[in-house]
Structure 1
Amino acid sequence: MTGGGVRVGGRSPGRPIRTEPLKSTDTNAVIMTTTLGTASAAPGEFDTGRLEVGEMRDGTTVGLPVAVLNGATDGKTLYVQAVSDGDELNGLGVLNRLVPQLDPDEVAGELLIVGVVNLHAFHAAQHRNPIDDTKMNRAYPGDANGTSSERVAAATFDAAKRADLVVDLHQGSTSRMINEVRVRCGPRHSLHRECLELAKAFGLGYVLDQKGPDGQLARAGPDNGIPTIDPELGGCVGWDDDSVSLGVEGMFRVLRYYGFLDGSVETELQTRASGFDQYGSPAGGLVTFERELGERVGAGDALFTVTDPFGQLKGRVTADNDGIFWRTRRLPQVATGEYVCSVGTDVDSF
């Protein structure tokens, strides 16, 4: 790859993404340089840097790791981010493997990348921002003068708003979950079809098509006219090689489908769920699952049993509706009423 490293120069590290003309030696030519924080790249270049989002308690600057890939030819702009939740590392694994494979000379358009959004939670190895105890993906579009999480959301959303497409890489935290893509704008949204198209291009095979909570980037993006998806790359502690590989493949599919890279993409039917049934435990004890992730279930089918430490049955839970066994807790021990699993419902193909 060309470029690389961190080039600061006289630029303000906290400055949002922008594109500015840079005069070349040819007085008739104008080179458009793209910057994100301290990262700056002319056409055919790649650069890394930091996007300032505040200070630590000792006054140390908090700078998110960012990268800019400016393709050699014109095209669309794609914004990608990972680790919005500090313990969701599969998206970072995707970027770690994807970016070295991209040659700016072979790319049309621009990629704006934030590698670690929730930097405070990432360093603490926890889900929520420990500075304000906030789940970052409930803070969008953010507030430049707000809480720690709102400021991070505002700075990253400034970059996302410059894009034609947004991919927000997630996973199912540390629980077990199928690999899926989430479309969170809701079926009545004016960009619903475009978001579904982006999800289909990513091509994980499963799509959750359900309006998400306020503050999600996958809702704020469409509300600002930008098709946005939220790939949930499985769920694990650390990162999972299989889910990371699927995420890399999905990103390449998006890059080819929307013309950033040469090559064609044939989209396939995706299995879509429009809702969830969530199940808690009827008793305290140890859970044994009766279904595998991704398996179809019918109403009345056994989902799991709960036993005491000596294997004596304390409860059995069955499905309320037809659907797909979608997500489970990772640890077997449960208290009465504690979350155990989810079934995706209202299932169809598109």
Structure 2
Amino acid sequence: MTTTLGTASADPGEIDTGRLEVGETRDGSPFGLPVAVINGERSGKTLYIQAASDGDELNGVGVVQRLVPQLDPTALAGTILIVGIVNYHAFQVAQHRNPIDDTKMNRAYPGNETGTSSERIAAATFEAAMRADLVLDLHQGSTSRMIDEVRVRCGKRHRLHSACLELAKVFGCGYILDQKGPEGQLARAAPDEGVPTVDPELGGAVGWDETSIQKGVEGIFNVLTYYDFLEGSVDPSPQTRARGFEQYGASCGGLISFQVELGERVQRGETLFEVTTPFGEPKTTVSADSDGILWRTRRLPQVATGEYVCSVATDIDEH
């Protein structure tokens, strides 16, 4: 059966790319999101993938760029639907939020087809996602430094929690954040409609990072194999799961020196970072309030009073 997404249309055993029209720009020109349809030669499940719902989170775009040329629809069972760039306006100007309505796109789901710019884009991509059996919403830690992880955002009491957790484990980044997310996230809205969804957070970078992109490609192939899109087998390995965060800011201005490496385990009371003057004179040190893992840090060394510095993941186990 022919499968379409926007102007992309593929018969069984074919790939096609096109555009999903979602509105007009300020000069009245229509614009569309880049989309792809990979229609397997054999029937099976449907996987929906999207990237760059935050316009400066580009590792997901790198994953899509590398993934699609490796896919052979004649060897595939089922269908893959891809929206390669969701936040069209933010991507054009390399910003996080949609500049048309100053909105973070991943707070706009399930969207509104007659609403704001972000709500209309969210509605169009949500409709595409709801055609799928599984959803991967590719993100990264913006321009911060962050470990590669997969986030389960539906909450532990959700009826699809175990299915989402399984999907995260199969993706196999090594780390899972299992914490209910804010309203408006795709990974919260889609499970409410019965579709297991996770958001792989593929590190953090200015531009993109090849190591994290490769992990993303490998993760998608893990999913495709485990859920029978491709022949073969995958034995998911144990993942380090965190169920909470503690965030740390600067109590004074200056230059940050981290005393712990990203991804390292820390103990309560262990020094995370110190703040010095431009001449190296100590001003303050900040220690961990709990045992955990240094999960995310700011990229630039300079901070003002109260500015974000780092996050420590807590409530750790192996899953």
Could you state the TM-score of these two structures normalised by the residue count of structure 1? 0.91
Does residue 114 (structure 1) correspond to residue 89 (structure 2)? The answer is no
Q: Secondary structure at 1:343's aligned position in 2?
A: strand
Gaps of 5+ in 1: 1-31
Deviation sequence 1:211-234 (CA, Å, 0-9, x none): 000000000110010000000000
Distance across 2 between alignment mates of 1:276 and 1:297: 13
Which residue of the partner structure matches residue 154 of structure 1? 123
Does residue 242 (structure 1) correspond to residue 211 (structure 2)? The answer is yes
Identity score, percent: 73
Give the letter for the 1:96 counterpart. Answer: Q
Q: Secondary structure at 1:254's aligned position in 2?
A: helix
Please give the residue correspondences for 1:1-350 in structure 2 after superposition, counting only pairs within 5 Å: 32-350=1-319
Give the letter for the 1:101 counterpart. Answer: Q
Q: Secondary structure at 2:244's aligned position in 1?
A: strand
Give the letter for the 1:133 counterpart. Answer: D
Distance across 1 between alignment mates of 2:249 and 2:108: 28
> Shift of the alpha carbon at 1:150?
0.1
Distance across 2 between alignment mates of 1:137 and 1:214: 9
Which residue of the partner structure matches residue 10 of structure 1? none
Gaps of 5+ in 2: none
> Shift of the alpha carbon at 1:288?
0.3
Deviation sequence 1:298-320 (CA, Å, 0-9, x none): 10000000000000000000000
- Root-mean-square deviation (CA, aligned residues, Å) is 0.4
Which residue of the partner structure matches residue 12 of structure 1? none
> Shift of the alpha carbon at 1:62?
1.4
Distance across 1 between alignment mates of 2:166 and 2:133: 13
Deviation sequence 1:26-82 (CA, Å, 0-9, x none): xxxxxx110000000110111000000100011111100000000000000000000
Distance across 2 between alignment mates of 1:49 and 1:245: 25
Q: Secondary structure at 2:56's aligned position in 1?
A: coil
Distance across 2 between alignment mates of 1:221 and 1:291: 37
Distance across 1 between alignment mates of 2:171 and 2:34: 24
Deviation sequence 1:260-299 (CA, Å, 0-9, x none): 1111001111100000000000110000001111100010
Give the letter for the 1:154 counterpart. Answer: A
Distance across 1 between alignment mates of 2:229 and 2:257: 46
Distance across 2 between alignment mates of 1:140 and 1:130: 17
Q: Secondary structure at 2:286's aligned position in 1?
A: strand
- For the pair shown, the structure with the greater C-alpha radius of gyration is 1
> Shift of the alpha carbon at 1:90?
0.2
Give the letter for the 1:345 counterpart. Answer: T
Distance across 2 between alignment mates of 1:62 and 1:148: 12
Runs (4+) of structure 1 exceeding 6 A deviation are none
Q: Secondary structure at 1:62's aligned position in 2?
A: strand
